[in-house]
Amino acid sequence: MPNPLFDALFARHLGADTPFLVCPGERTWSHDEFLRLAARFANLLTELGLQRGDRLAVQVDKSPEALAVYAACVMSGVVFLPLNTGYTPHEVEYFISNSGARLVLGRPQARAALQPTCTALDARFETLEADGTGSFPDLAAELPESFVPVDRGEDDLAALLYTSGTTGLSKGAMLSHRNLLSNARVLTETWRFTDRDVLIHALPIFHSHGLFVACNVMLLAGGSMVFLPRFELNSVMEALPHATAMMGVPTFYTRLLDEPGFTRELVTGMRLFISGSAPLLAETHRAFEARTGSRILERYGMTETNMNTSNPYDGDRRAGTVGPALPGVEIRVTDPDSGHEVPVGEVGMIEVRGPNVFRGYWRMPEKTAEELRPDGFFITGDLGTLAEDGYVTIVGRGKDLIISGGFNIYPKEVEEVLDAESGVLESAVIGAPHPDFGESVVAVLVPEPGAMLDIATIEAEIGTRLARFKQPRHYVILEELPRNSMGKVQKKLLREQYRGIFET
């Protein structure tokens, strides 16, 4: 029976004693060991009553077992819904409710906060720890280590990933087997991955970068991964002499450059460094080449589309650009108001079409219609230019999107939480350049008449409502927000005024 993702990513590794996940200081998982665990998990999902198309929400720490849950979902036809580990219980409640998840996997310490929500929404809650223990693996321990994959089609839903919403509500991007597999195939070929590659994997696996780019590519290529819980400088430095490639966010590379021991000699076996999820500064690109002799390959993607463009493996990896469109992907730049294509080199809205483009937003047909054109092009919300030779340059972002450490933050969501705080009349949230995270969040607050704002109290309360990466790192109090003649807050002026706030 066909199951596109299983057939391409996993079937070839059944019984293979080749290394897959190298966990320093712990153990190395072979492909076969990993798939036997995934089969037990798939059998458990079936025993718990989940059927093809049901959703499984997962908010757990990175581990081989957590990755095996993804494989189990592919096998059993269950839709995988990974959630950022930084989300608060308040945020997770929305994802469970909106997705209609039948099962929620979380850390044991989250049970007290999430169990009432799960009970109210008729979802089961089980646990999975970073060390691979928990109620979920316990239930699967004695189950068979083989599983007949459930029949799925290319257009069937494989994953649901939530993105921050401009209206304050996150949108669930529906990704099909075709979306994920087409992208994995193109990237494996474009970036020349083979079964001889060893990838340093220090990214989270609740994000499309770490899960659908890194893991899917390595499964398709048949190589192995040094599977690190997170980016920790010493661990990455120790792994570099034994690896051939690394995928990371710009912060990874700036931190490596700050380490004197990061030298050309250390990376002689590395054939490829890839950067994405946030803009890579041209100066970082140049400094990295000067230090190592390697030019970072920057690419461009997003949750709704996976990867869209890439600087070439062979050819000109231009600092400040994200390269031309990947094979099979079409890019056009349009006027945001008219929707008509702009002349070559002019700034406009980037639109994307191809087999990588998602099916739409879960239970949001109006939002889907707004952002997916009838001809199949997706309006990304990113502003950029398209050169004569096809190279794309991102010059800005629509919708005031902030990208901090590779994570997307929409100001509206943060503003709604701030506006609900006692004594706050209104707020404006902006991004300002940050030396480590690329950008970070600045909150500009206007107090109610006569109110005295206690920033420490606001910070403490915000901490219970928003994931850490969304929380402002700097607060400004003004008597009023700058507005134009139409009454719209002039965030451009605020960004200019506080541009250097994190440099002092």
Tell me, yes or no, whether 326 and 448 share the same domain. no
Same domain, 282 and 208: yes
123, 153, 183 — which closes off a domain? Answer: 153
Domain boundary at 358, 384, 400, which? 400
SS3 content of the chain, % helix, strand, coil (to 5): 35, 25, 40
Closest CA to 67 of 7, 158, 132: 132
Angle, to 10 degrees, between the axis of helix 89-99 and the axis of helix 111-120? 30
Place of tokens 């230090």: 291
Is 188 part of a structural domain of the chain? no
Q: Name the residue among 398, 400, 384 with its Cα closest to residue 489.
A: 400
Q: By residue range, what is the domain housing residue 266? A: 199-400
Are 470 and 364 members of one domain? no
Question: Do residue 392 and residue 412 come from a single domain?
Answer: no
Predicted model pTM:
0.85
Flag whether 123 is in a domain.
Answer: yes
Among the three residues 351, 372, 400, which one is the final residue of a domain in this structure? 400
Phi (first) and psi of residue 452, to 5 degrees: -115, 115
Give a three-class secondary structure readout of 417-435.
HHHCCCCEEEEEEEEEEEC
The answer to whether the beta carbons of residues 59 and 105 sit under 8 Å apart is yes
- Dihedral of alpha carbons 27, 30, 34, 36, sign: negative
Residues 355, 431, single domain; the answer is no
pLDDT digits (tens, 9 = 90+) for 87-146: 999 999 999 999 999 999 999 999 999 999 999 999 999 999 999 999 999 999 999 999
Asked whether the predicted pLDDT for residue 491 surpasses 90, the reply is no
Q: Let me know whether 241 and 349 are in one domain.
A: yes
Token pair, residue 112, equals 């007290």
258 and 369 share a domain?
yes
If we measure between CA atoms, which residue out of 95, 66, 87 comes closest to residue 171? Answer: 95
Which residue shows structure tokens 């990237």? 187
Q: Which of 72, 225, 40, 54 is closest to 144 using CA atoms?
A: 40
How many separate domains does the chain show?
A: 3
pLDDT of residue 488: 67
Asked if 24 and 101 sit in the same domain, the reply is yes
Q: Is 503 domain-assigned?
A: no
Sign of CA dihedral 282, 285, 287, 290: negative
Q: Are residues 406 and 377 in the same domain?
A: no
Q: Could you report the per-residue pLDDT of 373-394, keeping only the tens digit for each?
A: 999 999 998 888 999 999 999 8
Same domain, 318 and 449: no
Q: What is the pLDDT of residue 336?
A: 85
Whether 227 is in a domain gets the answer yes
| 111 and 123 together in one domain | yes
In the predicted structure, residue 164 carries a pLDDT above the cut 80: no
Q: Which residue has the tokens 């704002």?
A: 453
Mean pLDDT, the chain, whole residue set: 93
Q: Are residues 340 and 212 in the same domain?
A: yes
What CATH number has the domain bearing residue 284?
A: 3.40.50.12780
